[in-house]
Amino acid sequence: MRVWVASRNPGKVAELQALLGAGLDLAPWTGAHLAEEIGATYLENAMAKAEAVRAQTLDWVLADDSGLEVVALGGRPGIHSARYAGLTATDGENRARLLGELEGVPAGERQATFVAVLVLLRVGHRALAATGTASGTIAETERGQGGFGYDPLFISDELGITFAEATASEKAAVSHRGRAARRLLAELGRSGGFDPLRQGG
């Protein structure tokens, strides 16, 4: 059973495939329409993205909404993380804006939290949702070559290095998306008859 990922972010899709590929047959959505992220919460955005794709297919749909919440910035960029420097901003431009806004903020006041919400939908079934978080601090300069998004700036409290410096397995063990993915799989296991690997139709 195919599960479409309601995202065109290649880094996010690859990470979800690595995290959930052993339990779900994931593929990036290639259809015409994806919902705009105009909700007030991560869950609202994830649901909107999942619903938009589900309206175009009877298959399973997985959607993610995530963001970086920086204490010194009052929780920004939060749900606006992907477009922090503008609607068409690159990851590098978003990171540059973040560093600019934190210029002069001392290391002890650069705490941040990554948040991810995953939603799994299919026509005729209730939605399943799972949330994961990861705590850390924002580095003063980019570090590491891996990951995507804000990973080169996010120093994980548990790893002591940025997500971009970590291996994929190290990051998955403590990341917001990794935790949300494991919780979603656990929820699937607890929900009788809601297993896309076994249920036909």
Span 133-167, pLDDT tens digits: 999 999 999 999 999 999 999 999 999 999 999 99
Question: Residue 84: is its pLDDT beyond 50?
Answer: yes
User: According to the model, what pLDDT value does residue 46 have?
Assistant: 95
Residues 146 and 65: their CA atoms lie apart, in Å, by: 20
User: According to the model, what pLDDT value does residue 197 have?
Assistant: 41
Q: Is the peptide bond before 77 cis (omega within 30 degrees of 0)?
A: yes
DSSP codes joined into one string, 53-71:
HHTT-SSEEEEEEEEEEEG
User: According to the model, what pLDDT value does residue 1 have?
Assistant: 64
61, two tokens:
């749909």
Residues 159 and 31: their CA atoms lie apart, in Å, by: 38
Report which of 11, 10, 21 is spatially closest to residue 2, judged by C-alpha positions: 21
Length of the chain: 201
Q: Is the dihedral of CA 119, 53, 115, 139 positive or negative?
A: positive
Active site residues: 65
- Domains of the chain by start residue, with CATH: 2-190 (3.90.950.10)
Looking at every residue in the chain, the average pLDDT score rounds to 90
Residues 90 and 74: their CA atoms lie apart, in Å, by: 23
User: According to the model, what pLDDT value does residue 201 have?
Assistant: 27
User: According to the model, what pLDDT value does residue 32 have?
Assistant: 66
CB 143 within 8 A of CB 162: yes
User: According to the model, what pLDDT value does residue 179 have?
Assistant: 97
User: According to the model, what pLDDT value does residue 23 have?
Assistant: 76
The average pLDDT across 61-70 equals 96
User: According to the model, what pLDDT value does residue 192 have?
Assistant: 56
User: According to the model, what pLDDT value does residue 191 have?
Assistant: 67
Span 3-43, pLDDT tens digits: 999 988 888 999 999 999 877 888 888 876 777 778 899 99
Residues 23 and 201: their CA atoms lie apart, in Å, by: 18
Which 3 state secondary structure label does DSSP give 121? strand
Question: Residue 65: is its pLDDT beyond 60?
Answer: yes
> 199 falls in which pLDDT band (50, 70, 90)?
very low
> Which of residues 92 and 125 earns the better pLDDT score?
92
Tell me how far apart the terminal alpha carbons of the chain are, to the nearest angstrom: 9
